[in-house]
Structure 1
Amino acid sequence: MSESLLTLLDWRRRLSDLYAEVRRLSRDDPQAAHAHWQAVRNELFARHPQTPLTAQARADFRALPVWPYDPAYSFSAAVQTDLPPEQFVVQTSAGHDMPLVRVGRVALQNEHHDLGSLDVYWTQVYGGGLFVPFRDAGSGHSSYGGGRYLLDTVKSADLGSLPGGQLVLDFNFAYHPSCFYDPQWSCPLAPPQNHLSAEVRAGERLAARLD
């Protein structure tokens, strides 16, 4: 038990270091940051004791499938906080309740795409953290049907903010929750208001449909 908790501590430290380096590299070379993100995550999934992969999947693991980096899926947005705060209880993949508080909304618009908007949540667990899950038109086909995570600062998945306070929202770093790999994990699923009508062909994906 104690050894498992210490390896979990190491996993979280490594993720924290990874995202700190991603934020540093992204200032000058987002594609290099993305390549580093892939390389470190592949190493952690392949070798770390806290990998979410099952033993069978780990034996066959080569790399996490991701779309090539596409700058058109990188956004920055101020959090619109003029919305009434709402408390939600969302279901996890294991059927548990997860309390969330909506703290605002971000508009996903740049010169390439207008994807609509996503609500931004604060997780009501110890310490709290910013959480932005989403589903898109490809969920269940080109990515996990339960959705992916864009930000989850409780787990150090934090792409940072710009000097003006806008959140960095780069879908190239979107990833599957642990329950996608092993149902023993209980992961909050994206609520209905965080469903995007377009397919987001960036970030982590299913191994099939390599078009």
Structure 2
Amino acid sequence: MSEDDGATGTGDAGRVALELADWRRRVAELYAAVRQEADPREGHRLWRAGRDALFRGHPQSALRPGDPLRETGLPCWPYDPAYRFEVMLEPVPDGSRALELPSGENGSTLLRAVGLLELPEPVGGTVTLWWLEQYAGGLFLPLRDGTAGAESYGGGRYLLDTAKGADLGTAGPGDRLVVDLNFLYHPSCRYDDAWLCPLAPPENTVATRVEAGERMA
């Protein structure tokens, strides 16, 4: 299993459940430390180190044994402050709507649109913020950009998945969402197709190349 929908296969259900709970706990603690850091660049450094440590040695790592990324760390573009925004959430014009995304051979993920985010330049474009109905609910913001299929995973990357601990928080009095694209990360299915994960829908696609966050190499 992973921070996504979980790996398929058999095994000791109790052990796997405890490992998954520990993974999510550690991810939540990592993002809590990021939110407390006043310097976004330093927060990004903490995030990269924490992600590398989890993927290197945690039993729920999506990296297969012997994967060289366990030693080198996950490839990532250098931090660029131009990709950090504080964005107001705008209403969905046609009201809240649901979307069911396939998340594997026999699974699906139900999302509900809760608002629109207009991303400033250098990105440009509007994307949808979703509420993930699984896991007792949580904000979910995937993104597929112009690097997808080459420098980043073809199915897109994730920025927010608050049900699993990936939460950059809000700014000001809490009416603006922190959208720092330097924290875009690959879903676990990028590393091993035994993991199941919903991919970015068309509403979360931008043509601009976002050279920030995790990359393929």
Matched pairs, number: 203
Counterpart among 147, 164, 172 of residue 163 in structure 1? 172
The aligned residue for residue 100 of structure 1 is 111
- Residues 1:53 and 1:114: Cα distance change in structure 2 (over 3 Å): closer
Alignment of 1:14-163 (within 5 A): 14-25=26-37, 28-57=38-67, 61-83=71-93, 84-94=95-105, 96-109=107-120, 112-163=121-172
Q: What's the CA shift string for 1:47-80, capped at 9, x where partnerless?
A: 1111111123168632100000000000111111
Structure 1 residues 163 and 7 mapped into 2: Cα distance closer, same or farther (>3 Å)? same
Aligned AA (1:197)? A
| 2:3 alignment partner in structure 1 | none
Tell me if structure 1 keeps the 8 A contact 2:156–2:186: yes
State the one-letter code of the partner of 1:63: G
Equivalent in the alignment of 2:206: 196
With normalisation by structure 2, the TM-score equals 0.89
With normalisation by structure 1, the TM-score equals 0.91
Please state how far the C-alpha of 1:9 moved relative to its aligned partner.
Answer: 1.4
What is the aligned-residue RMSD (CA, Å)? Answer: 1.5
**Percent same amino acid at aligned positions?**
45
Partner SS, residue 39 of structure 1:
helix
What secondary structure sits across from 1:167 in the alignment?
A: strand
Q: Distance in 2 between matches of 1:50 and 1:98?
A: 21
Instruction: Give structure 1 stretches of 5+ with no counterpart.
Output: none
Which whole-Å CA distance do the structure 2 matches of 1:94 and 1:180 have between them? 16
- Of 56-65 and 32-41, more deviation after overlay is shown by 56-65
Q: Is the 8 A contact 2:62 2:192 kept in 1?
A: yes
Deviation, 1:93, is: 4.5
Q: Relative CO higher for 1 or 2, CA cutoff 8 Å, sep ≥ 6?
A: 2
Deviation, 1:203, is 0.2
